[in-house]
Structure formats: structure tokens, C-alpha cells
Structure 1
Amino acid sequence: MTKQIVTGLVAHVDAGKTTLSEALLYQSGHLRKLGRVDNGNAFLNPNQLEKQRGITIFTHQARLSYHDLALTMLDTPGHIDFAGQTEQVLQVLDYAILVVSVTNGIQGYTRTLWDLLKRYDIPIFVFINKVDSMGADSARVLNKLQNELSAGCIDFTSGQVTTGDAAEAIAMQDDIVLASYLDQEKLSEDTVRTLIKERKVFPCFTGSALKMTGVTNLLDGLTKWTVAGPTKQEFAARVFKISHDPNGNRLTWLRITGGSLRAKSILLPDEKVDQIRIYDGDKFTIAQVVPAGEVCAVTGLTSSFPGQGIGTEANTPRPQMRPVLSYAVKIGDNDLQTCLKALQELADEDPQLKVTWSEHLQEIHVHLMGEVQREILEQILEERYQLKLKFNQGQILYQETINASIEGVGHFEPLRHYAEVHLLLAPGKPGSGLHFAADCRVDVLSHNWQQQIMTSLAAKEHRGVLTGAPLTDVQITLIGGKGSIVHSVGGDFREATWRAVRQGLMELAAQKHCVLLEPYYRYRLTVPQDEVGRAINDIQKMNGTFRLAPNTGQSQSLLTGEAPVATMRDYATAVRNYSHGQGHLECVVNGYQPCHNANEVITQAKYVPTADLANTPDSVFCAHGAGYPVSWDKVPEMAHFPYCKRI
């Protein structure tokens, strides 16, 4: 019986990921001619921009058969600026193939990918590539994998891993398995497969994708040591990509996780599948039905988005890899509406672009990961839409949070309307985002009213009151409120809910418990020994931390640590200059931390929360047949429902 597996190839840029995919396709007989990235004829780099730059920018799909294995491969972008696309793909994988270059070893983005795969619980096969390079030492890289990522990274190249040293190393990753191994001195193949699936063991293979060495071992390993993922009986699917074909058709890319998908099926309200496509490179075949376990692209859907669950599948959490820079678009002589339409179509493919129009500044703004993504976006706009747009240097995307709890109150009572909402705002874990919950009796607020409040909480992006930046890492709990059977309607609770959030934030700001956050880099800096002092001094000036690796007699020194994106984003150029090209800086966004110069940023923002009418903290009460506004600081004493005293 053929085993259906979906795998994704992930790697730091230039590790040889796309070259490996080409080798796998060629070795399995899927390709008659071996293409090369540097020649611009790689099967999974069909886009013209990818050929020009020699890197993967978009996710591409290929299918191969090898013995009893039917393998769907998703080749993902390797540059960190496109990490958001890669993260979308991880959500639909059975296994991942992590490619590590023997010449560069474990790099910053390699660690980021490892952490993302852990987040989505994806088992990993590792391919240590480029072993034909001069001075290559695959054993050293394997040792680093074991010491820095997981002791479960074990050499599977020989294929003989159920007995001997490899078996003992595998058994040591699980106490129960170890006890059985010590008794029998061997492992069953099913035990090895289970440990791989449980992410306790990570099979490692060595070779050179370019020279076609070690590729057969990897294919044999994938065939032998993988198991098909479970599928549900009821229909379920997950969206992992949105794109547009050359004719402008909108494509929704799906992994079917349960049941089967048929053409003309209604997947979303008033939206049905017109056509089901099975892609292989840039070509596709039409299918009438796709079973669980398969990947396909469908036309006909207009409201789908990456991470969306369809059928019995739930939506995935918000992505971890998010842009930290906002760029203003220079429209020039181009028509504003034409520019907006083009950018909004691209934002449909990548929602994290977050295209917005600033009426006050008369500017379009987009969110990006970095300069490479900006350059690519400029090229796409010119080639696809014939728009020559430029972007400014980019501004830091700040966020806001809180470090204490408060009860926020919102009241909305213009004539013939009524709603009051009490919310408990409490600090959440760093990086957790916003979480909403209800802890309110139905005899206080009916189930219907509570549902309206919970829906309203999730219906907008809540903003802080320091600079108007997005609010994050806060637990918001419904704890009380009041409605009127006669006058309350859904819109009333929406208004009261949003005002309650803002009123609570204003209370916390007055108590100095609101916190401005900024993005930080995790960096690895290598510089010549005689430049270490200069580097440390620079890092301290950038408000960064550093750890100097022990000197092992090498001519280069390694510093690692964290620093604000705002201060380090342009430092790579300085490193190249003062080290005369011998130094190298690698940065990976590592979440948000309290802003190092918060007062300065807040002052420059000139944000007045009470003047932000779309996010007002004030409430509306009614007296003598007319509604009247009440400022946020007076709302608690005028509330109709008593303070819940949960703090």
C-alpha cells in the first residue's frame, strides 16, 4: 500500500535546500534532467524573480514516488524576510527536512526554524549538505546539532540503527525504550518510527545534493522511517497559502486532513470550489476529488486566508514570525486607487503585509520583515502591475502591554440603547498575544449578551494608549455587566466592550502600568580578534547584551546576545567596514521586550488617546431623555453595575 506523506524542505538561505529538492526529484525518476539554481533551471524555482536572485521566494510544490512512498514536497523560502510564508507551510506538514550546510553549520535562522518546528510539533529529518566542500567535517556539524539543538540528532546514514551504537543512542532518548533495549539489545523498527514521530529522535543524513551523494540514503530513510499521518472521517482542511496564477485566478492552497474534497463543494458561506488543481512545479492537473492527506489548490474561494481551518479543522494561532517594520509607500505619479488595489491583492496573499491608508499623512503603509522583502515587493509591483513604487526607510513597529491588573468599564447609553461591560485586564505571558475569556454568571448577563461581548473583543485590533501601538500579551476576561431586554442590541455591547478595554488601559497608564514594547534581534557576530573591543563597545551603545565565546585559538571571535532592532538594524554595514569584510553579523527577530527608550518614542509619537475617536476610552450615559459623554476617569463612579473587585 502506498504511503502518502507531505514534507517541507526548510533551511537557512544558501544551505542547498532547493538543490536537494532537485536531487530528490531526479533520483526518484521524476525529472529526466537535473536542473541547478545557479543556472536558473531548477524545477522548484520557476518564478522569474527567483531565477534572477537565485533564492526561493515563494513556496512551491512537487510530487514524487519512490518504492511505496508517495511524497508531496513543499519547498519553502530560505531567507528570513520570508519566514512568515515558511511558517504557514509548517502547519500542514507530516515531516520536515531541515538542510544544514556543512560549511556554515547551525546559523541563527536554523535555530529559528528548529523552534518553529517544535511549536508546530513537526518531526524532523536532517540533511547535512555540501560534504564535498574543502575541509568539510560532517562529524563536527553532527556534534553541534546534538549539543546545541537536541541529543536526539543521530546519524542514520548507514540505515542500520536497530542494533549497535546507533540503537543505543536512540534508546537513550526515552527511558522506557532504554529499559527494553538493555534487556533485548535491539530495537524494533516500529519503536524507531514512533520515537521519530514523537520528536525524540531526529534522523540525520550526510551528503552533497549537488553531487547527488547521500540522496538515495535520505529517500530510503524517508520511505522506511515515516508513518502516514492520521486523518479524520469528517471533511477537514487547512489553508496554508493564497496565490494568483498568471491569468489572475485566486488560488487557495489546502491540505486535506479529513474526508475528501470534491469539485463544486461549498467550503465557505456562499463560496464553492470551482476547480481543484494538483500542482507539480508550475504545472497542474485537474482533479474531481482529493482524498485526505493530499495537498491541492482550488479556485472559487474569495474569503479564505492562510492558517484558516475549514470543516472540522480549527484556525491556527497567530503566527510567531511577524513583521517588525512599517514602510510608507511613495506613490509618485501613480494613481492612488490602482496602487491600493495592487497592494491589497498582495496582502491577500500575505496578510502580514497589512496594507493601510493613513488619511492624516496621505500615505499607504505596509508591514515588512526587512530590506530583501522590500526589494522583492518593489519588483513584483513593477512586473505584475507595472507600478514603479518606492518605499521609505521603514519605521519600527512597536507594541504595548500592561504589567498590572485593572477592571475596565464601558457604558453605552444613547437614547433607546443600553449596555454596560466590565472587563478584567491582566498581564499575559510575553509573546502570548491577546486572550479572551468569560467568567460571568448567566443570571448577570445572558448567554446571548456574553457571546456578543466575546465576539466584539475579537472583532478589532485593540490599541494601547501610549503611542496607539497594537496591544499584546494581555488576558481580557468578561466579569460583569448589564443589559436591557427592551433597549439593548448587539451594537450596544460592541461599543461598551471596546470602551471598557480602553478605559482600563487609561487607568493603568495613569498608574504607570502600561509598557511600550519594541522588537529585539538575537544576533551572532563574528569579528577578528583585534576588533572585539570595538564590537563590545558598539553593542553596549546599542543597548544590547553580549556573551563572548571562549577563545579556541581561532582568528575570529564570536559574540552572541540580544539588541533592539531599532539600534542594530543597520549595523551589518558597519561590521563589514571596520572588519574590512572579515566580520559577519547575523540577526533573527527574537520577539518583543520593553522599549529601551520608551519616553523618547512616546514623546515623538504625540499620541492623544482621548482624541482617537475610533478607540475612545470615554462612555455615553443618558439623562433627561438624552445621551451625554462621560470622560474615562469618571466612568467607574457612574457605572450601573458594581465593581466586581476581582483584582
Structure 2
Amino acid sequence: MPTAPRILNIGILAHVDAGKTSLTERLLFDTGTIRRLGSVDDGSTQTDTGAIERQRGITVHSAVAAFRVGDTQINLIDTPGHSDFIAEVERALGVLDAAVLVLSAVEGVQAQTRVLMRTLRETRLPTLVFVNKIDRAGARTDALVADIRRRLTPHAALMTHVRDAGTRAAATSPRTFDDPQFRLAMAELLAEHDDTLLARVVDGPEPTPAELSKALADQTAKALVHPVYFGSAIGGQGVDALIEAIVAMAPEPAPNPARDPATPPRGTVFAVERDPSTGRKTAYLRLFEGEVTNRQYLTFASPGTNATHTGRLTTLEVVGAGTDDSRTPLTPGNIGKLRGLPGVRVGDHLGRPPARAPRFAAPTLQSVVRPREPGTALAARLHRALTDLAEQDPLIRARTEPGGAVSVLLYGEVQKEVIAATLADAYGIEAVFEPSRTVCTERPNRTGEAVVEMDRGPAPTGHWATVGLRVTPAPYGSGTAFRYETELGALPRAFHQAVEETVHETLRAGAGPHGWAVTDCTVTLVRSGFNSIFSTAGDFRALTRIVLGHAVRDAGTTVHEPYRSFELEVPPDSIAAVATLLSSMGALIEESSAAGEAWLLRGTVAARLAAAIEQRLPGLTHGEGVWWSRPADDRPVSVREPVDGTTDDTAPESAPGKPNDRLA
């Protein structure tokens, strides 16, 4: 019986246009997986399969391709490069064994590159660096290595020599431990994390090439050092050395005794596709424990909620198995394409949740979408289409607005353009997007309570139900929780479930007086009643929305807008102009210090202003400013209680929202 291959799940990450999709094509071609190199320019790549991806030449959704090197199967996960799709990248990180970070030898270290590398280092994911496009005019080598060590990681190990960089004759050759100069440089680098090796470097005897090679592999696997390779995905230079490094230096997953089919399966769904013509959904599952077989019933849970859904797997395709036979089981370490599970969404987990569940930065923009042509049927189609897209990215959270429009959450304007193009191409819907506004949240100021009673007949609202709810503030960052003060048996289970689900849905949908989602609170069911003949779950859902709205208004809320913490690197001669810009935008500079030949500024700024600052930086810094930011705690906004749908003119434009008439 043949031995099962070693499985490595490798992510390809990069700033947009660095060439990661081209590198994926080259890896597949050089290992004999495909017979012809695809091109981003003509839309013939293996991983950018969507029409929008082919038209725009960018990766929007994570895609998987596999190749074999000896007894090792490598599953390549090509992730988006544009910052608007950073949540897609973060989801993929949770299923990877290692990563390859791609840079352009021409553009060098970009702001998004630094964001990605920082994330990789924080998660301690083993990472190789591939510097692409050495055959392009303007390609840099030594200066770029210095930038990598200064801006990405001080523990970069240069593994290749480059000749004739910036010309079509550019070529690479490996640096080997037979070279005394290379051996000394690597020994000093590796000794920073190994006291025994440090003693050998100082006192002797000198470490042998075999010892240094093993130390390099071990420290790479522990994400302590990051080997750097130069090459060209288009020309193929240096790719063979990268392939050898992936196989030799990427960590081998620990032996898993849980491969026994009797062990409950555990895995994570990191991507979902839907065929526009058939509507058939395909989920990509990374399995960590147990075994999954075709026709098996599987139960998935959605992160952050108590919701679960069970379905029967109708088609199972194991990535890289070399056959479409659904009888091939999915085993730990592998990735499977699952069909027949209509309820599955990106981020769902199979079996027990991961020990450290990923926490994705929430979108900070919101836009309302309407069909270009009016009509109830077209509005319904638009809602269904956006709901489908939300399965691929739950964080966009499509919801119906008064008047039949649909709102979506976004990370940026490029994502909005991609959604609009997808609606037109895949669903035949021409949609109009309103200008984006910053997404705020509301937090209760105090305890609020409301009750609507059903007496001998239906409640004044016309619903056969009694519901009383209390809303109390909870610690910052705790989210929302639901509790009971009534006896659990006082209502039928279906009615209890209707109340609890509606509470969470309504808080997310915008239960606050200003129309924003309400968070960091506990909602307690304090009173309930039903009529055994007339009451339905629908009565409880409808009445819960009304009562919760009254309780939240009784509690009062404070609107909070999102902030971002930033790091900004600028030339010394630009520091005054940049500081003036930041001050005019209300940014708080918390730290400033010299960083080599530049100045480093750290601080916080309202998320709605971050893009404007970033856009003006190139002009103020002669193109040398580097901006990096990440979500920070949100902060209160001064907004007057809405009376007629308007708010205080002095408040930020993006902060207030219209009163939520659905809850009035």
C-alpha cells in the first residue's frame, strides 16, 4: 500500500501587482502540474478563475491549487493582494502551515507588504520571502535586502546571488554553506536565537555546513528567521531554489493520532464558491482531525454565534488527490472541496472550535445598494444576490433597509467596485451604490427596560405574545449576550429560540436610536407569556424587535466611531508638513522617534480620515512616506439625539444615522 504523502498548505501573500498569481502559475508549471503557463494579462491563470479577477488582473478570493515534489504534496493558497480584501487573507492564515511573501524587486517593500509581514510574524507562521521581477528595469538587490531587514524583519537570510539585475539577462545562483563568507554570516544570524551555536561562533569549533543547514531549517520552521530568495516568476529564474526551500524548510505537520475515523472530525471552512449558472455551492475545508467521507452528515457552527447547521455531503473532492472519485476520504492536513451543504459559510468550523479563533477586523464602511431599474422583483433578486456574496464574505453582512434597498459593509472602494461588477456579470443586475459612510456602533449608557403584555387578547401591537426585555451595559469589547430571568420551561422551545435569535439579529441590524448596531450589552428576558392556541414563533420575533427597540431607547446610547492606530515613516525634511496634516485631520501623535534615515510617527486617527491622509502622503514626502495602520478601539462621537432624522451639524458626517423606523 503506497505511503500517504506529506501535506503542506502554503499561502502565497503579496502586495497587489507583486506577481504572486504569476508565481503560483510558475510553481505549477515547473512541477509538471500544468502544461502551459497562464497569464494574468490574458486571464488564463489557474487560480484567478472568476470573471472579475480575470478582467481586473487581481485576486479577490482565496483559491487552491496543488503540486507534488517527491513524497510531498503542496497545496498552494493564492490570496488577495489588495488591502480591501485583507479579511480574505486573514481567514486563509488560519489554515496554513507556512507562507511565501512575494515582493517586487522594482517596487520593493510596500505598505501592504509590511502589514502582511507584521501579521505573519504575530501569528508565528513560518515565512519564506521571494523577491520577484529581477529581470525588470529598475530591479534592486542589495539595497532591497537592506530595506527588507529594516522594514520587514531583521532576521532575513539572503539565500541567492543575483547577476545582471534589471536586465533580461538577470540570473540567480544559490548561496551555499561551502562559501566561508556565507557560512560566517549565517552562523552569526542563527546564533541570535541559539546560545549553543553562539558559543561555537565565539569560542569554536566552527559549526559545520550540515549543522548550519539544520539550524536554518529549524529556525525557519519556528518563524525565527526568514530566508530570502530572488527570482522571476515570468522568466523562471530562482523558482527551483524556492521549491526546494518550501519542501525542505516548511514545517512538517505533527503526527496526528486523531486520523482514526472514530475521532470526530475538526476543520475550518476558509473559502466558499457558488456557480452562478447552477447555484451549486462549493466549500473549501481544511481538516485538522478525524476523517470526512462522502455522504456523511456534518454539523457546522458559525463563529461568534450559537447557530449550527447540519447537512449531508453529496460530493467530496480532495485537493491534489488526482482523481474525482468521491470515495477518497479527506484526512488531517488535507483540503477538501465539499458540495451539498447549502447552509455552510466562510469561517464556519466543523467539530470543536479552534483553540484560538481568528478575530477579523470588521469593515468600517457601509453603502446602500439599489437596483438601477425600480421594481419589487429586481429588488428581491438583488437581496438574494448579495446574500449569496455574503456567504463568501460574511463580514459584508447584507441587510434590508426601509424602502427595499440593501446595505452592505465594506473595507474599501475597490471592494465596492468588485461587488458591483459581480452583480452585473454573474447575476445580471445593474446596481447603484450610495456614497460610502463610516460604520459606527452604539453602546448603552445605562439599564433600560420595556415590556409589552398580552392580556385576554393579542398585545396592543397585534401579536399573541408577551415579551419583556432588559438591556444593561457590558464591558468594552464583550459583544452581546442573552440571558433568561424567566423559567426556561415557561415558553415552548421554539418561542425561546425565536426571542434569542431575534435579539442578536436586531442588535446587529441597527437597534440603536441612531440606526447603528448595538454592542457591548446584555439583554435579559424578564417577562414572557403565550397563548397555547394562537401564539406562533412569528409573534415572538415581531414583538421582540419592537420591545428591544423600546428598551434600547430607554437605556440611551452613545455612538462610537472606529479609529485606526498608525505607524508612519517619513523623510526628515517632510516631518513638519506631515505633522501639520495629521494635526489638521485630528490625529493624535503618541510617539515620534528617529528610525535610521527617517522619522517614525505612531498615533491614532478616525478611520474615516485614514484614507485621505494616506492619499496625501506621497505628495508631502516625495513618494517616500510609508503608512501602516490597523483597527484600534473606537471612540465616542458627540451626536445629538435624532428627532426628525437629522443630527448635530458639528458631528462627523459619517457618524449619525437615521432613526430606525422599523423599531419605532
TM-score range, shorter-chain basis? 0.7 to 0.9
Of 295, 301, 316, which residue of structure 2 is paired with 1:276?
A: 316
Of 183, 205, 209, which residue of structure 1 is paired with 2:233?
A: 209
1:538 CA drift (Å): 3.8
1:265 CA drift (Å): 0.8
Whether the aligned pair in 2 keeps the contact of 1:18 and 1:75 (CA below 8 Å) is yes
2-structure distance, mates of 1:191, 1:436: 48
1-structure distance, mates of 2:528, 2:198: 62
Question: C-alpha deviations, 1:392-411, integer Å up to 9, x for none?
Answer: 22111112457x9x677787
Question: SS at 2:80's partner residue?
Answer: coil
Is 1:222 the equivalent of 2:246? yes
Q: In structure 1, what is the equivalent of residue 270 of structure 2?
A: 240
Of 327, 334, 337, which residue of structure 1 is paired with 2:380?
A: 337
Which residue identity does 1:275 align to in structure 2? T
Q: In structure 1, what is the equivalent of residue 435 of structure 2?
A: 393
Q: Percent identity?
A: 21
Q: In structure 2, what is the equivalent of residue 288 of structure 1?
A: 327
2-structure distance, mates of 1:346, 1:570: 28
1:117 CA drift (Å): 3.0
Which residue identity does 1:221 align to in structure 2? A
Q: In structure 2, what is the equivalent of residue 322 of structure 1?
A: 362
1:180 to 1:29, Cα distance in 2 relative to 1, 3 A: same
Q: In structure 2, what is the equivalent of residue 263 of structure 1?
A: 294
Whether the aligned pair in 2 keeps the contact of 1:9 and 1:98 (CA below 8 Å) is yes
1:594 CA drift (Å): 1.9
Which residue identity does 1:200 align to in structure 2? L
Question: Under a length normalisation based on structure 2, what TM-score does the superposition of the two structures give?
Answer: 0.74
Is 1:166 the equivalent of 2:209? no
Q: In structure 2, what is the equivalent of residue 427 of structure 1?
A: 475
1:532 to 1:24, Cα distance in 2 relative to 1, 3 A: same
Is 1:87 the equivalent of 2:90? yes
1:461 CA drift (Å): 3.7
Q: In structure 2, what is the equivalent of residue 299 of structure 1?
A: 339
1:23 to 1:163, Cα distance in 2 relative to 1, 3 A: same
Whether the aligned pair in 1 keeps the contact of 2:562 and 2:631 (CA below 8 Å) is no
Question: SS at 1:261's partner residue?
Answer: coil
Of residues 78-87 and 541-550 in structure 1, the stretch that sits farther from structure 2 once superposed is 541-550
Of 262, 266, 282, which residue of structure 2 is paired with 1:251?
A: 282
1-structure distance, mates of 2:546, 2:323: 47
2-structure distance, mates of 1:179, 1:420: 71
Whether the aligned pair in 1 keeps the contact of 2:566 and 2:604 (CA below 8 Å) is yes
Whether the aligned pair in 2 keeps the contact of 1:324 and 1:519 (CA below 8 Å) is no
1:118 to 1:301, Cα distance in 2 relative to 1, 3 A: farther
Whether the aligned pair in 2 keeps the contact of 1:9 and 1:96 (CA below 8 Å) is yes
Question: SS at 1:345's partner residue?
Answer: helix
Which residue identity does 2:16 align to in structure 1? V
1:190 to 1:594, Cα distance in 2 relative to 1, 3 A: same
Question: C-alpha deviations, 1:355-409, integer Å up to 9, x for none?
Answer: 11112x542211122121111112111111111112122111112457x9x6777
1:528 to 1:494, Cα distance in 2 relative to 1, 3 A: same
Q: In structure 2, what is the equivalent of residue 352 of structure 1?
A: 395
Q: In structure 1, what is the equivalent of residue 100 of structure 2?
A: 97
List alignment gaps of at least 5 residues for structure 2: 161-174, 300-308, 457-464, 641-649
Q: In structure 2, what is the equivalent of residue 369 of structure 1?
A: 411
1-structure distance, mates of 2:407, 2:237: 47
Question: SS at 1:387's partner residue?
Answer: coil
Question: Under a length normalisation based on structure 1, what TM-score does the superposition of the two structures give?
Answer: 0.75
Which residue identity does 1:288 align to in structure 2? R
Which residue identity does 2:98 align to in structure 1? Y
Whether the aligned pair in 1 keeps the contact of 2:564 and 2:604 (CA below 8 Å) is yes
Whether the aligned pair in 1 keeps the contact of 2:298 and 2:311 (CA below 8 Å) is yes
1-structure distance, mates of 2:48, 2:426: 17
Q: In structure 1, what is the equivalent of residue 23 of structure 2?
A: 20
2-structure distance, mates of 1:436, 1:181: 57
1:327 to 1:177, Cα distance in 2 relative to 1, 3 A: farther
Length, aligned pairs only: 592
1:211 to 1:107, Cα distance in 2 relative to 1, 3 A: same
2-structure distance, mates of 1:584, 1:496: 52
2-structure distance, mates of 1:20, 1:212: 9
Question: SS at 1:127's partner residue?
Answer: strand
1:285 CA drift (Å): 3.2
Say what the alpha-carbon RMSD is for the aligned residues.
Answer: 4.7
1:40 to 1:314, Cα distance in 2 relative to 1, 3 A: same
Whether the aligned pair in 1 keeps the contact of 2:91 and 2:358 (CA below 8 Å) is no
1:528 to 1:41, Cα distance in 2 relative to 1, 3 A: farther
1:105 to 1:467, Cα distance in 2 relative to 1, 3 A: farther
1:194 CA drift (Å): 4.1
Q: In structure 1, what is the equivalent of residue 166 of structure 2?
A: none
1:13 CA drift (Å): 0.5
Q: In structure 1, what is the equivalent of residue 585 of structure 2?
A: 542
